[in-house]
Structures are given as structure tokens and as C-alpha cells.
Amino acid sequence: MVVFLIGFMGSGKSTIGKKLAKTLNYNFLDLDQIIEQQTSQSIANLFETKGEHYFRQLENDWLKNVNVQDTVIALGGGTPCFNDNMALINSKGHSVYVQLSVKILASRLAQAKTIRPIIEPYKSDLERLTIEVETLLTERLPYYELAHLTFESSDMSAEKYSVLSDAILDLVR
């Protein structure tokens, strides 16, 4: 089984994915890290030098060719929203939307050390960042809502990881 974690940037897909993979005794992959390794460039640099369209095509190509089992895969926040990616995701595994409120997302992103090209110009102004996060999340929500399972992740206790892993296992039964 393959579990794809989707959701907005800063929602905790990678952190949750690593813990979930450990709980399920699965491998863990992070698509952004894979693209950075394959291109020897940061995501921010790819956006700057090649553009978003190029980056989105790399994501799509990877999804078309991915062939793994027993793996949790954290996808970039925009990955499900381009090309035929959400259909690919749902055909190749089980998708989980890692959901957080706009307020929590904006707070996390304002403090994040990772450069995220789409919101970087707004990072120093929390009010403006919150507006941008809300706008972008509203655009992406129809894709996120196509996930097999939605998981609200604001309080990730050990018990919640257990509930999530049980819910994922129920998907395949």
C-alpha cells in the first residue's frame, strides 16, 4: 500500500509522514526532497531559474513513474492541484489530506526557515501572509477534498497518530 499525504505547505506532511511510516513499518519519501536530489537544486532555485511550470512538470513526471509499495509519501502543497496529479495520486494509492486552519498555517509559515517561493514575499507581514494563505488554500481546497481521507492535524498527539494509522488501515480493508 502507498499513502500519499497532501495538504497546504506547512501543514506537517513530512513530520506526520515520518511518524506514520514508522508506525506502519513503511518507508518514507518526501517528493520535494527527491526533486532537489534529482536536480541538485533547491525548490526555491528551481522556481527562480526554471519557473513553476517546469517544477510542476517534474512532480507530474515523478508521479507517473512512481512504483513503490509500503511507503508513505509527503507531497508538495501544490502537487495535487496541477496536471492530472490528483487522479494519479488516487489511482496509485490512498490519499490523506492533512488539514490545518488558515491561522495556524500562516503562523507556521511566518516562522519557517524553509524558503517557499509562492509565499516568500509575504512572510514578514503576518496579516498579508494570512490573506495569501487563505486565497491559495481556497483555490487548492477542491483538489485536497478529493482525498480518500481528511485528517485535522492541529494537535498531533501519539493517540492521534494511532487514530490516523488505524483509519488508513481501514481504507485498505
Contact 132, 122 (CB under 8 A): yes
pLDDT band at 150 (very low <50, low <70, confident <90, very high): very high
Separation of alpha carbons 164 and 153, rounded Å:
10
pLDDT band at 160 (very low <50, low <70, confident <90, very high): low
Domain residue limits, the chain: 2-163
- Mean pLDDT calculated for residue range 76-103: 96
The pTM of this model reads 0.90
Which of 171, 44, 66 minimizes the C-alpha distance to 118?
44
Whole-number pLDDT of residue 155: 66
E strand intervals along 9-141:
27-30, 71-74, 94-99
* Fold category of 2-163 in CATH: Rossmann fold (3.40.50)
pLDDT higher than 80, residue 138:
yes
pLDDT band at 132 (very low <50, low <70, confident <90, very high): very high
Residue 13 vs residue 171, higher pLDDT = 13
